[in-house]
Structure 1
Amino acid sequence: MAPTHEIAHLGHVELLTPEPERSLWFFTDILGMTENGRDGDSVYLRTYDDYEQYSLILTGHETSGLRRTALRTSSQENLDRLAKRAEQAGRGVARLPAAAGIGPSYLCTDPDGHEIQLYWETEWYQAPEELRPALKNQPQAFPGHGVGVRRLDHVNYLAAEVEPNGAFIRDVLGGAVSEQIMNDDGSIPAQWLHFTNKSYELVYTSDWTGSRGRLHHIAFATNAREDILRAADICLENGVFIETGPHKHAIQQTFFLYVYEPGGNRIELCNPLTRLILAPDWKTITWTQGERAKGQAWGLKTIESFHTHGTPPVAANT
């Protein structure tokens, strides 16, 4: 099954942090993102190759986690169509007025409770003189410091049950499953879903704590694999906790590094730029429990915290 392309792409996320100043340092100094406005407890941040106003809203909060994920639709008609489907599925929440950088939107939730905001109208970024790029087909000059992340790449949700959430993304929002894991008993502990020719934009992973609505990680793409190696050195030198990697995933073949930003949220730095799905009749790749037990592409075993660490922490989520 191919995606319907009613969703154009992943737009931005709102991330919560109990350490707003230290988290802001991480995203600007370590990742090299640019601040592009503030509103109350929230700071708007952008990657240099994002055509919209921002990629991340960083909001100070009593705990960590993901407030919501914003997806841009491919037209106003598709926004209205998806909102109607969400309402019919019993997942609708509210129509929201225009906000910073975007027009009116529609808020819904997946079965696990993660908030998903759908919007069409958006304000394109115009770089000020000091950030104007040499190449006119690039929104902003390359930052030249920190990791220099290029774009917000994907969101990985923890979920009490993977399959109902994957079905919501597929049947209501028009996505498709590119790859998945199937246990020996037939259960599905993880699915990778896409809306475009990109091989994945949203991921659902089983939460071994049994909690609902938590975040596994958000991921930012770099220009090259070498940037992941440099990112590991930058994090090491600055006391940023490295959870696992650098290494290469077997599923989706993404080169990766996982770190925790100061607020406790897991961040992936990844280089998936070479892998696209061009086949309109792509068939979902299913990995078996035995295949996954072999570890990542080059044999690195998946660490225990990958299945249990999520945000907000379990104690704050109950």
Structure 2
Amino acid sequence: MTSAPAAALPWGTVAHLGTVELFTPELEGSVWFFTEILGMTETGRHDGSVLLRTFDNYETTSLIVTERDLPGMGPTAVRASSPDALDRIERTLGDAGHDLTWIDGYAGHGRTLRTTDPDGHELDVYFDTRWYEAPEQLRPALKNQPQAKPNRGVGVRRLDHVNYLAQDVLANAEFHQLLGARPTEQIRLDSGRIAARWLTYTQKSYDVVYTEDWTGSTGRLHHIAFATDGREDILRACDICIDHDVFIETGPHKHAIQQTFFLYVYEPGGNRIELCNPLTRLVLAPDWRLITWTEDERKKGQAWGLQTIESFHTHGTPLA
């Protein structure tokens, strides 16, 4: 006899995306990119890792950059909406048969529940967190902003989303749906297979994305994305990148799916980074209808006709 599948938790059980750990074989080069090109703030170093933050994050850490032989990603951490929500997440994942481990908090987080999605990407869930207190030189003029806006680089506002590569998009998307994420858009191939799905834990149009890994590999990263204040910041980023020999893969342009204005670059460690401006699109409908794009519709390219370049389907980290 097989047990019934675990019931999905309600939307809002997970509050938001917290941090991502990025692996890099070029630690100082990657830190230079995130601080000098993106305008993030370094807040600490420990055991080969550097802690970084975006200026509008109320928590202490947005990104952890860790030295490794190969690029790629460590855990993605999300914050539960309450201590009780964290306990409910533990019960739900346990009932669904997922391996669970409690670890000590890191990067300002309290006790943390660690698991993996079906593809092997690590997911950490925490509730207790340390709110950021800006030092005098970074104190903002407006008390409702955690930190003064950076005076260098692009000045990214927040960690926006993570795009994972996966063998089985649907199974991995349903893992996040079990935690209360809502699917907002997807790509369905003519064969019926789901090739990509976008999901949100908040009223943003998406927080996590799964796209099909054409190499058949598991546990790889497609990109992490940082949100800017406006489209002009992305255009300015193009000039900053060419002045400092940062490789631009594609863009600036506008996605058809989710309508995000985008720029894709590679940081010195080899990981793909997106600068995006999705701030105008919110999912306010409590009964949002999942939007499905067909194979023919995706062949038309991006919103204004730019065709998706080949490396967008083949490059992931670590390299296959």
For the aligned pair, the TM-score class normalised by the smaller chain equals: over 0.9
Contact 1:2 1:281 in 2 (8 A): no
CA distance in 2, matches of 1:152, 1:47: 7
Amino acid at match of 1:213: G
Instruction: Indicate the SS of the match to 1:278.
Output: coil
Q: Cα deviations across residues 153-194 of structure 1 (Å, max 9, x unaligned)?
A: 0000000110000111112x1111000011111111000000
Contact 1:3 1:194 in 2 (8 A): no
Which residue is equivalent to 1:215?
221
Contact 1:11 1:55 in 2 (8 A): yes
Correspondence 1:138 to 2:106: no
CA distance in 2, matches of 1:100, 1:226: 31
CA distance in 1, matches of 2:110, 2:126: 7
The change in CA–CA distance for 1:104 and 1:182 in structure 2 (over 3 A counts) is same
Which residue is equivalent to 1:102?
109
Select 1:92's aligned residue among 89, 96, 99.
99
Correspondence 1:17 to 2:11: no
Structure 2 residues without counterparts, runs of 5 or longer: 1-7
Contact 2:51 2:107 in 1 (8 A): no
| TM-score w.r.t. length of structure 1 | 0.97
Using the TM superposition, name which of 82-91 and 249-258 deviates more: 82-91
Correspondence 1:313 to 2:319: yes
Which residue is equivalent to 2:14?
7
Select 1:155's aligned residue among 154, 158, 162.
162
Q: How does 1:27-176 map to 2 (within 5 A)?
A: 27-171=34-178, 173-176=179-182
Instruction: Indicate the SS of the match to 1:210.
Output: coil
CA distance in 1, matches of 2:56, 2:9: 27
Which residue is equivalent to 2:289?
283
Select 2:255's aligned residue among 249, 255, 259.
249
CA distance in 2, matches of 1:176, 1:133: 35
Instruction: Indicate the SS of the match to 1:92.
Output: coil
Number of positions where the alignment pairs a residue of Structure 1 with one of Structure 2: 313
Q: Cα deviations across residues 266-303 of structure 1 (Å, max 9, x unaligned)?
A: 00000001110101111101011111000000000011
Which residue is equivalent to 2:190?
184
Which residue is equivalent to 2:4?
none
Which residue is equivalent to 1:272?
278
Quote the offset at 1:89 in angstroms. Answer: 1.8
CA distance in 2, matches of 1:272, 1:178: 14
Amino acid at match of 1:76: P
Quote the offset at 1:91 in angstroms. Answer: 1.9
Contact 2:187 2:294 in 1 (8 A): yes
CA distance in 2, matches of 1:24, 1:93: 31
| TM-score w.r.t. length of structure 2 | 0.96
CA distance in 2, matches of 1:167, 1:100: 28
Contact 2:61 2:107 in 1 (8 A): no
Correspondence 1:201 to 2:207: yes
Structure 1 residues without counterparts, runs of 5 or longer: none
Quote the offset at 1:100 in angstroms. Answer: 3.3
Instruction: Indicate the SS of the match to 1:90.
Output: coil
Instruction: Indicate the SS of the match to 1:298.
Output: coil
CA distance in 1, matches of 2:217, 2:277: 30
